[in-house]
Amino acid sequence: MTFVRILCAAGLLGAALGAGLCLGSEPLSPGDLVAALGGDDVFARLLRDWRLPRVLAAGLIGALLGVSGTMFQGVFRNPLAEPFLLGSAPGAALGATVAILLPLPLPPLVALPAFAFCGAFGATLLVLGLARALGVREIAGLLLAGVAVSAFLAATRSFLMLSLSDETIGLQVVLSWTMGGVQTPFWSELAGFAALAAVGLALAFGCAHGLDLLGLGEDAAVNMGLDLRRFTLGVLTLASALVALAVTWGGTIGFIGLIVPYLARLWGGARHSISMPLAAMIGAATMMLLDGVARAALPPAEIPVGLLTALLGAPFFLVILAKWSRR
Amino acid sequence: MISRRAVISGGIASVLGAVAPWPARASGWPRRIVDALGREVEIPRRPERIVPVFSSNTEIVAALGAADRIVGIDGLTHWPPEIADRPAIGNRLGFSADRIARLGADLVILTPARHAASLLLRPLATIGVPAVVMTHATVSEVLGNIVRIGAIIDAEPAAGALVRDLRRRLDGVATRRSGRSPMRTYFETGANARGQSFSVRPGGYTDDMLRLAGGVSVFPELSGLTQVGGEAVARAEPEIVVVAGGPREAAMIRARPGWDTIPAVARGRVITVPRGLFLIPGPRIAEGVELLARALHPSAFPEAA
């Protein structure tokens, strides 16, 4: 049964990859795509060396956001927990802004993920710390703390953008991070991105058993030998790292970390050893498809994919909220 | 301190200074050129499918007799009429390397405005479509761009003839109005519905055109921000107000609160010039200079009256 689900998800992934390749300012039919890929003209080169790496990058971003969302929801045992709402994505965006705008003695490919991670992790700890200091126990309170911290971080980022960007590329690059748009990597950059993502996802899948125990309740988990404090901190660190990696190549793309884990649980059940790989595959397929739509919706321009995910995700969030509050 | 007059006449001399014949007359293919960003670009063979991005580049390519080789344009380009129906590869929201590739372009000529360079250069380099970046800080550089584009699209004779003609016309205007003192001008390049108005940027090609036509901006010290208010215009005491636009823009000037106290406005010394002639750094600049010179110094052009 599990095998069938994984197989179906893999099929979905392949279909999304094909759709992502077909979508553009002038969509191709699958037949056209196959014919065009084999050619040696400019358009064939565009498909192979520009669109394909972009679609794959979108897929990796979706997988990272889906899995990190699953981890956040597992730790907080709540379907409303999401990297975007708990401060980690806005924190990563602030870190990325600092890395882009301040002159640093580090190459951008190191500085960007490192600062994004510091921002993501710092913001998550800040939200949790504030919630604890204020005596908040309910998830609603945690989300509200996240709202406050996110607003603060966004204001800080806007101030940095206004005061540090010059007339050159700075502001535009930072804006594309803010609105969420998949960057197109060169093949060599994609290889580095994919290697980091693979390590991160493998480590994340290693947390599956602990998350299952936590799902039984904190007391039960402790009784079964889980070091609650260490495990929670480890999972949040790792989830922040995944978010930071996703933000480095895609900017702040909201709600994927909310929708995808929900669908993965709906389809694969509560066991994280199944729901996490499913979340990775569903997340990848969703992002490849949505990024394609973002490229094809308003030709010849493209719209930031973060706007699409928010348009779809915000109503979805409300649906989950309604279900959860009727519990 | 250098007098304003000395600065002005020096500026005109530099405007009409020699246009560097760059690159040195190329004949065979491939041709290598260094563009305005200092990038070395190789053009493997004579371009047959050209995508000029922005009106200025499109107008230059068309004026060199290569309109039939233009396969795509920017969505905001409407001149000359025979290219207006070409597919658009970009608009206010951005530009599409995807569509440029679909058109099978073999040369893209662009300008670093509206992020065209940051959006297009990386994908075009990846897929191997040569892209040449033009800038147009001055009238002299615009004339140089005609020579450069002529060289890369294999239209050197047409480019040489066009530049000679434009320079002859600009020299002709200078001769006709020589001896007359420059008209102190408030040149408004744009305004918006929120009541903000913008003056010509000193040292830019539009400012060059104003000086070639026998005018001088009343805001020679602006840099960066070019927004000016009614009080500043009143204090600067322009002899004439020139608005890039049509009757609607001229009416907007008169309707602004307080602007009727500006002597030039009160005396009806408000004229309009077509935006396409003054805000597109292409082959129509000489037409713009001739038009504006006749308006600023009508007595120098008796036959036009």
Position with higher pLDDT, A171 vs A251: A251
Q: CB distance A42–B122 less than 8 Å?
A: no
pLDDT recorded at residue A285: 97
pLDDT, position A4:
87
Residue B148 confidence (pLDDT) = 94
Nearest CA in chain B to A45: B127
Residue in chain A closest to B49 (alpha carbons) equals A42
Same fold, B23-166 and B181-304: yes
Say how far apart CA B119 and CA B100 lie, in whole Å.
12
**Residues in A touching B223 (Cβ below 8 Å):** none
Reference A67, options A278, A293, A318; nearest CA is A278
Q: Does domain B23-166 have CATH number 3.40.50.1980?
A: yes
Q: Does residue B170 contact residue B16 with C-beta atoms inside 8 Å?
A: yes
Residues paired with B197 in a beta bridge: B191, B228
* Phi–psi pair at A307, nearest 5 degrees: -70, -40
CA-to-CA separations, B128 to A33, A190, B97, B106, B188, in angstroms, rounded: 20, 19, 11, 9, 41
What H or E segment, with its residue span, contains residue A231? helix A228-250
Bond before B30 cis per omega within 30 degrees? yes
Cα separation, B275 vs B55, whole angstroms? 12
Superfamily designation of domain B181-304: Nitrogenase molybdenum iron protein domain (3.40.50.1980)
The shortest CB-CB distance from B101 to any of A42, A186, A301 is to A42
Report pLDDT for B218. Answer: 94
Domain spans in chain A, listed from the N-terminal domain onward: 2-79+177-325
Please give the Cα distance from B14 to B162 (Å, whole number). 20
Residue of B nearest to A50 (CA): B123
CA distances from B198 to B49, B232, B257 (A): 38, 11, 16
- With 70 as the cut, is the pLDDT of residue B100 above it? yes
Q: Is A235 exposed, middle or buried (0-12, 13-18, 19+ CB in 10 A)?
A: buried
Q: Where are the domains of chain B?
A: 23-166, 181-304
Burial of B181 (0-12, 13-18, 19+ CB in 10 A): exposed
Rounded to 10°, the helix A108-133/A187-205 angle is 30
Identify whether the C-beta of residue B49 lies closer than 8 Å to the C-beta of residue B37: no
Contact residues, chain A, for B118 at CB < 8 Å: 169, 172-173
Residue A15 to residue A30: CA distance in whole angstroms: 10
Give yes or no for B181 touching A (CB within 8 A): no
Q: What three-state secondary structure class fits A180?
A: coil
* B-chain residues near A295 (CB < 8 A): 98
Distance, in Å, from the CA atom of B286 to the CA atom of A292, rounded to the nearest integer, reads: 46
Q: Which of A40-54, A192-206, A223-237, B88-102 has the highest mean pLDDT?
A: A192-206
Touching A: B residues 97-116, CB under 8 Å: 97-99, 101-102, 104-106, 115
Q: Are strands B40-43 and B31-34 parallel, antiparallel or unpaired?
A: antiparallel
Stretch A306-326: mean pLDDT: 88
pLDDT, tens only, A94-148? 998 888 888 777 777 778 888 988 998 899 889 888 888 988 877 778 888 888 9
Asked if A25 and B105 come within 8 Å (Cβ–Cβ), the reply is: no
Q: How confident is the model at residue A167 (pLDDT cuts 50, 70, 90)?
A: low
Nearest CA in chain A to B72: A300
CA-closest candidate to residue B147, choices B136, B132, B162: B162
Torsion of CA B151, B155, B161, B163, to 10 degrees: -40
The whole-number pLDDT of residue A169 equals: 52
- H helices within B26-138, ranges in order? 55-61, 97-102, 116-127
Give yes or no for residue B21 having a pLDDT over 80.
no
* CB B281, CB B56: distance < 8 Å: yes
Homologous superfamily in CATH for domain A2-79+177-325: ABC transporter involved in vitamin B12 uptake, BtuC (1.10.3470.10)
User: Given this model, what pLDDT does residue A170 score?
Assistant: 57
pLDDT at A224 over 80: yes
Give the burial string for A142-156 (b: 16+ CB within 10 Å, else e): bbbbbeebbeebeee
B93 in A contact zone (CB under 8 Å): yes
Say how far apart CA B277 and CA B255 lie, in whole Å. 25
pLDDT, tens only, B226-262: 888 888 999 999 999 999 999 888 888 888 888 888 9
Question: Mean pLDDT of all residues in chain B?
Answer: 88
Cβ contact, residue pair A300, B95, below 8 Å: yes
Task: Please give the pLDDT value at position B3.
Answer: 39
User: Given a cut of 70, is residue B160 above it in pLDDT?
Assistant: yes
Question: Which tens digits make up the pLDDT trace of B194-233?
Answer: 778 899 999 999 999 999 999 999 999 887 778 888 889 9
Q: Quote the minimal CA–CA distance from B144 to chain A in Å.
A: 24
Question: Which of A8-17, A286-295, B2-11, B69-78 shows the lowest per-residue confidence on average (mean pLDDT)?
Answer: B2-11
User: Nearest CB to A46: which of B94, B97, B122?
Assistant: B97
Nearest to A301 among B90, B102, B128 (CB): B90
The set of residues, in sequence order, having a beta carbon less than 8 Å from that of A327 and lying 6+ positions away, is none
Radius of gyration (C-alpha) of chain A in whole angstroms: 20
Do you know the residue count of chain A? Answer: 327
Write the pLDDT tens digit of every residue in A41-96.
Answer: 889 999 999 999 999 999 999 999 999 999 999 988 888 888 877 888 889 889 98
Indicate if the pLDDT at residue B14 is higher than 80: no
